[in-house]
């Protein structure tokens, strides 16, 4: 039996932090053991770039800060970054040949915030090319494997992040969610992840996919660890024009998530044996359509019953445009992607073909060689829907639908419920290669996550069971109103105090 990395002896970030602060172990020891684990799990293909020297240098600095008594709140926590966050020193590829050897001159805000908080980076994590995909199969560096079953996908696009956390190589990882890429891989790998309200985490230094949708968030084992990470990640960034400034109570004020989490937990404790007494859970009937696999429906139903035992009440709600979220998203996201990706022209960043006669041929060959088939498909779709003549019919129409989807959520929160719950994905993880012939099948499997992204709402995924036909993890989605991350995490925490799905480990169910 292989040796587990040191951080697995601790059940939470705060426990590991206390041990590091007491001097019982060092950040360097923790980092070394995680590096060993990363190597041991190399066959998952979760990492695209590991550099022990950089990791150990960071750990050494953290150890010095621990000694000096001025270490940050995440001091020594071993994590990894999805390879769409630019990093000084480490390559940033976005899973693409286009950026195969690209090294950024600066760190993404998310990366620098976590580093300043003391987290130690183990490296860069594999993902779908430019975060386009639902299975981490579109990466130029090959597919990521699901630690629960190496023939299954880990979900996507933050598949390397989810696989490395699920395999216990890392305590946590960063991810990004444009249409479900934090929630869905967390669900398919049996761990927890949260996509916060759009605009709360800086997009500076996040390789852009769909700018009006992209939002970063953490992936970890449970809600309490997500809280620690998210608190370090959020905050106004003057260098990101879509970052929310804290101008009133509802905005991006430091400490806001923890304050609301603490208040919600205090409320639960006051309620006593039924901590969620009176919590209204909206269950959208459209999330339980014929496309949902029976074992996923059953696991979600069981989770809802647990919530009822904890005092919550279930309210049936309707999100009537759920089906429309797929065409709306797959017009808007590719439209934004086609403009964002125009910067990869062989001049400004990354790959340049060596066979060309003139500049036009240079650009088109560069883009043909640098982008994989899924990215090319999105660029073509995006360019098409933005064309003069089609713009009104597709792009403007999709924006109208987006507004209606947002209104549906707002109406539910205003009139019927405090949180919304349902499945994350229609089935457990598919086998690698299953959807190769039919890319649209992947697009359809995003049905339960896209609406939230179009509306910019916060949502999370927590483990809630296993499939019956194939014993792979199933996730429960919990959606909140804008800025309700603290309450969402408290509701998830209450569930995780009452259940042990989040403690299951691949290989030792
Ligand atoms: N599967 C969706 C897509 O391919 C979502 C990806 C994401 O959230 N980055 O666009």
CATH of the domain at 457: 3.90.1300.10
Half-sphere exposure of 306 (CA within 13 A, CB side): 21
333 lines ligand 1 (CB under 6 A): yes
> Where is 80: in which H helix or E strand?
strand 78-82
How distant is the alpha carbon of residue 35 from its chain centre? 22
* DSSP assignment of 171-236: SEEEEEESSSTTHHHHHHHT-EEEE--TTSB--TTBPPSSTTT-EEEEEESSHHHHHHHHHHHBS-
Residue 351 included in any domain: yes
Catalytic residues: 82, 157, 181
By percentage, how much of the chain surpasses pLDDT 70?
Answer: 98
- Between CA 90 and CA 493 the distance in angstroms is 34
- Between CA 216 and CA 15 the distance in angstroms is 25
175 lines ligand 1 (CB under 6 A): no
The Å distance, Cα 442 to ligand 1 centre, comes to 9
* Res 254: pLDDT: 78
* Regions of the chain where pLDDT drops below 50: 1
Domain count along the chain? 1
* Res 186: pLDDT: 98
* Res 442: pLDDT: 85
Q: What is the largest CA-CA distance in the chain?
A: 75
Residue 509 included in any domain: no
Residue nearest (by alpha carbon) to ligand 1 atom 10: 132
Contacts 24+ apart (CB under 8 A), 366-374: 369/97, 370/96, 370/97, 370/98, 370/344, 370/346, 371/96, 371/97, 371/98, 371/129, 371/341, 371/344, 372/96, 372/97, 372/129, 372/138, 372/140, 373/138, 374/128, 374/129, 374/132, 374/133, 374/138, 374/439
Q: Which atom of ligand 1 is nearest to the CA of 134?
A: 1
Residue 80 included in any domain: yes
The Å distance, Cα 364 to ligand 1 centre, comes to 25
Q: Report the SS3 class of residue 7.
A: helix
Cα Rg, the chain, nearest whole Å: 22
* Res 1: pLDDT: 46
* Res 301: pLDDT: 98
179 lines ligand 1 (CB under 6 A): yes
Q: In the numeric block, which tokens belong to residue 126?
A: 């594999």
Q: Is the distance from CB of 193 to CB of 217 less than 8 angstroms?
A: yes
Residue 497 included in any domain: yes
Q: Report the SS3 class of residue 260.
A: helix
Q: Which atom of ligand 1 is nearest to the CA of 213?
A: 8
446 lines ligand 1 (CB under 6 A): yes
Pairing mode of beta strands 192-195, 120-125: unpaired
28 lines ligand 1 (CB under 6 A): no
Q: In the numeric block, which tokens belong to residue 42?
A: 């190399």
pTM exceeds 0.75: yes
- Between CA 222 and CA 501 the distance in angstroms is 10
Q: Report the SS3 class of residue 418.
A: coil
- Between CA 480 and CA 409 the distance in angstroms is 9
The Å distance, Cα 407 to ligand 1 centre, comes to 22
* Res 435: pLDDT: 80
Q: Which atom of ligand 1 is nearest to the CA of 453?
A: 8
Domain, as residue range, for 425: 1-504
Mutate to test the pocket of ligand 1, among 83, 132, 425 (most ligand atoms within 8 A of CB): 132
Taking only the tens place, the pLDDT of each residue in 190-201 is 999 999 999 999
């Amino acid at each position: 039996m292989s040796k587990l990395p040191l951080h697995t002896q601790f059940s939470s970030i705060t426990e590991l932090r206390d041990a590091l602060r007491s001097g019982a172990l060092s950040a360097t020891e923790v980092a070394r053991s995680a590096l060993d684990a990363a190597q041991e799990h190399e066959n998952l293909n979760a990492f695209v770039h590991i550099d022990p020297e950089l990791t150990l240098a960071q750990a050494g600095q953290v150890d010095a800060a621990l000694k000096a008594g001025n270490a940050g709140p995440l001091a020594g926590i071993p994590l990894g970054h999805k390879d769409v966050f630019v990093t000084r020193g480490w390559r940033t590829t976005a899973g693409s040949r286009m950026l195969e050897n690209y090294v950024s001159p600066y760190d993404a805000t998310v990366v620098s915030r976590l580093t300043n908080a003391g987290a130690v980076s183990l490296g860069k994590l594999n993902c779908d090319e430019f975060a386009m995909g639902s299975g981490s199969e579109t990466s130029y560096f090959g597919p990521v494997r699901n630690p629960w079953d190496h023939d299954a996908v880990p979900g996507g696009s933050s598949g390397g992040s989810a696989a490395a956390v699920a395999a216990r190589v890392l305590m946590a990882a960063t991810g990004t969610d444009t249409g479900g890429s934090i929630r869905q891989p967390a669900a398919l790998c049996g761990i927890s992840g949260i996509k916060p309200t759009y605009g709360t985490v800086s997009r500076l230094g996040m390789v852009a996919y769909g700018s009006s949708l992209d939002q970063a968030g953490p992936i970890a084992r449970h809600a309490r660890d997500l809280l620690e990470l998210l608190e370090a990640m959020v905050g106004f960034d003057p260098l990101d024009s879509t970052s929310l400034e804290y101008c009133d109570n509802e905005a991006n004020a430091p400490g806001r998530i923890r304050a609301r989490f603490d208040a919600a937990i205090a409320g639960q404790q006051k309620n006593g044996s039924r901590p969620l007494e009176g919590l209204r859970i909206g269950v959208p009937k459209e999330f339980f359509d014929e496309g949902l696999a029976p074992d996923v429906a059953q696991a979600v139903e069981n989770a809802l019953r647990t919530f009822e035992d904890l005092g919550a009440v279930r309210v049936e709600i309707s999100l009537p445009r759920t089906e429309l979220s797929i065409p709306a998203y797959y017009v808007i996201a590719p439209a934004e992607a086609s403009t964002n990706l125009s910067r990869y022209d062989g001049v400004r960043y990354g790959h340049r073909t060596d066979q060309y006669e003139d500049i036009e041929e240079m650009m088109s060959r560069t883009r043909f060689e640098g982008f994989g088939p899924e990215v090319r498909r999105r660029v073509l779709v995006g360019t098409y829907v933005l064309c003069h003549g089609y713009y009104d019919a597709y792009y403007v129409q999709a924006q109208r639908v987006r507004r209606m989807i947002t209104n549906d959520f707002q109406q539910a929160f205003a009139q019927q419920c405090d949180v919304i719950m349902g499945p994350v994905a229609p089935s457990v993880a598919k086998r690698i290669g299953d959807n190769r012939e039919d890319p649209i099948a992947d697009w359809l499997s995003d049905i339960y996550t896209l609406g939230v992204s179009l509306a910019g709402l916060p949502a999370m995924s927590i483990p809630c069971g296993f499939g019956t036909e194939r014993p792979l993890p199933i996730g429960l989605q919990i959606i909140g109103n804008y800025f309700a991350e603290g309450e969402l995490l408290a509701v998830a925490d209450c569930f995780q105090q009452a259940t042990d799905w989040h403690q299951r480990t691949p290989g030792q169910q």
